[in-house]
């Protein structure tokens, strides 16, 4: 049970932890949730973590939490914080997470549910056989040392240049699929070793490839611009930087712990270890973190290419003929520098998004031309047994949350608890009874990721929609999923 923290209700979807709740808080906390979700949030220590983040040097405006918030390392998952480098603002690896640029991409097709339902099981099986997934799985896409350094700098561009996709994919990827100023020299030998054979691999945990069907349209115009329509088959891919990013986070947690005393920084939890953005340690971490982010974008680009190969072989048509275009790719665990107005002045801030999704509104210069009129697609996956959503970013999110919204449903129980809850049951058969084909490398993966392990994504999405942080466009239902 969470430490009892008194919240001030702002409205039905906003709750504040006042600045004076704990000594040393530099800003208030702000949680986006309704009463139903708040009751679940209070069952772990995530609210205390929101308050802890408010102690970071240079933090601006609020320590923010999305409605899918749950306990994490240092920052809660679903936590957002902006720091000002000009005001001793810091960068914290715990505010990005171990799986740097864990993220999600959505691919549309011109297939319908009727086209695939009779052969769904075989299609899912072929995806499982072709896409490496699970702990320790190696990928078929191997790179030497020189190419390995190049892809850390080039991100998804490297994959496209090597035949894993098309240039137009990059236009529909956040940041064009690359963070500039990545520094391969800041990456440890161990991180290189761990990432050497994991390109084009899905991994385990909550990572997946899912075949879906659009079942509801909420915004006809935005759906048309995104190329989405009712009954259409989509493919959703969720993965990140694998062991490479994990090792980078691990390496720099130790470095930033030492930086706390060097820079006389006091935090209520050592898991919030950090360094000033403009310090040597801060710049070194940023250079390595960008390498991990670029690795992840490259990985998802390769995974999409593998999925396209399966569909090509299965249907006997090219991916272009099948209309398998990328709708969008967004990062979940990342730190980026973005401009926002603070106290009437435009400032370049360091935005930590941990288990949170960028949600830029219409007209933002970083959006591709074809999405400028409506805003950025925001992709929110649910669990294997419920819906997923595409929303669109808003100008209001820029004002309230530094252009950020939630990233998923959010866990409602730990993995170990989920495994205990699954004893004596077959999650695979339960999903099949709902018409969903799920294939995993082992039973444990399905048990850990069973639908009951997550909050209801419909509740989470309704909060961000009603709060104005993103607006619903379409809803998809799962048909088939592969997991590690």
Catalytic residues: 407
Beta strands in 177-277 (DSSP E): 208-217, 232-239, 275-276
Q: Which residue, 430, 479, 44, is CA-closest to 232? A: 479
- Three-state secondary-structure class, residue 111: strand
CA 94 to chain centre: 15
- Three-state secondary-structure class, residue 129: helix
Alpha-carbon distances, residue 390 vs 30, 49, 79, 97, 177 (angstroms): 24, 29, 21, 24, 20
Query: What is the C-alpha end-to-end distance of the chain, expressed in Å?
Result: 31
Burial of 398 (0-12, 13-18, 19+ CB in 10 A): buried
* Rounded CA separation 241/390 (Å): 23
**145-154 and 280-315 helices, crossing angle to 10°:** 100
* 57, 75 Cβ separation under 8 angstroms: no
Q: Half-sphere exposure (CA, 13 Å, Cβ side) for 93?
A: 29
**242-262 and 280-315 helices, crossing angle to 10°:** 170
**280-315 and 120-130 helices, crossing angle to 10°:** 140
* Rounded CA separation 64/211 (Å): 32
């Amino acid at each position: 049970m969470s430490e009892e923290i008194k919240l001030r209700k702002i409205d039905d979807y906003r709750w504040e932890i006042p600045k004076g709740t704990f000594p040393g808080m530099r800003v208030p906390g702000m949680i986006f949730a309704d009463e139903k979700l708040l009751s679940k949030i209070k069952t772990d220590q995530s609210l205390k973590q929101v308050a802890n983040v408010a102690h970071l040097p240079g933090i601006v405006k609020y320590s923010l939490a999305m409605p899918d918030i749950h306990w994490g390392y240092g920052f809660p998952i679903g936590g957002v914080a902006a720091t000002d480098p000009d005001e001793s603002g810091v960068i914290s690896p715990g505010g990005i997470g171990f799986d740097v640029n864990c993220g999600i991409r959505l691919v549309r097709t011109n297939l319908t549910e009727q086209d695939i339902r009779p052969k769904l099981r075989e299609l899912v099986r072929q995806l499982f056989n072709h896409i490496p997934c699970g702990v320790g799985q190696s990928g078929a896409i191997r790179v030497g040392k020189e190419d390995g350094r190049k892809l850390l700098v080039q991100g998804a561009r490297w994959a496209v240049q090597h035949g894993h996709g098309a240039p137009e994919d990059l236009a529909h990827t956040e940041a064009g699929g690359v963070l500039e100023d990545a520094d391969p020299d800041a990456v440890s030998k161990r991180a290189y070793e761990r990432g050497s054979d994991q390109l084009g691999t899905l991994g385990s945990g909550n990572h997946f490839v899912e075949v879906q069907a659009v079942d509801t349209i909420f915004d006809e115009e935005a759906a048309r611009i995104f190329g989405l329509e009712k009954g259409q088959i989509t493919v959703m891919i969720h993965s990140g930087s694998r062991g490479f990013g994990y090792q980078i986070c691990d390496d720099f947690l130790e470095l930033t712990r030492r930086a706390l005393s060097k820079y006389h920084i006091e935090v209520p939890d050592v898991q919030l270890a950090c360094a000033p953005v403009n310090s040597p340690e801060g710049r070194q971490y940023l250079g390595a973190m960008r390498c991990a982010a670029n690795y992840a974008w490259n990985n998802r680009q390769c995974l999409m290419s593998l999925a396209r190969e399966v569909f090509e072989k299965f249907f006997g048509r090219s991916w272009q003929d099948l209309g398998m275009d990328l709708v969008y790719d967004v990062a979940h665990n990342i730190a980026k520098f973005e401009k926002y107005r603070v106290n009437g002045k435009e400032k370049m801030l360091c935005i930590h998004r941990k288990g949170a999704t960028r949600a830029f509104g219409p007209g933002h210069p970083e959006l591709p031309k074809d999405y400028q009129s409506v805003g950025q697609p925001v992709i929110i996956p649910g669990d294997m047994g419920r819906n997923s959503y595409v929303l669109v970013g808003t100008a209001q999110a820029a004002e309230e949350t530094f252009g950020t919204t939630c990233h998923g449903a959010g866990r409602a129980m730990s993995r170990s608890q989920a495994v205990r809850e699954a004893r004596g049951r077959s999650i695979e058969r339960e999903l099949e009874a709902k018409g969903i084909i799920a294939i995993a490398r082992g039973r444990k993966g399905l048990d850990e990721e069973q639908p009951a392990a997550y909050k209801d994504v419909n509740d989470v999405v309704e909060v961000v929609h009603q709060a104005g942080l993103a607006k619903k466009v379409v809803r998809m239902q799962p048909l088939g999923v592969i997991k590690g």
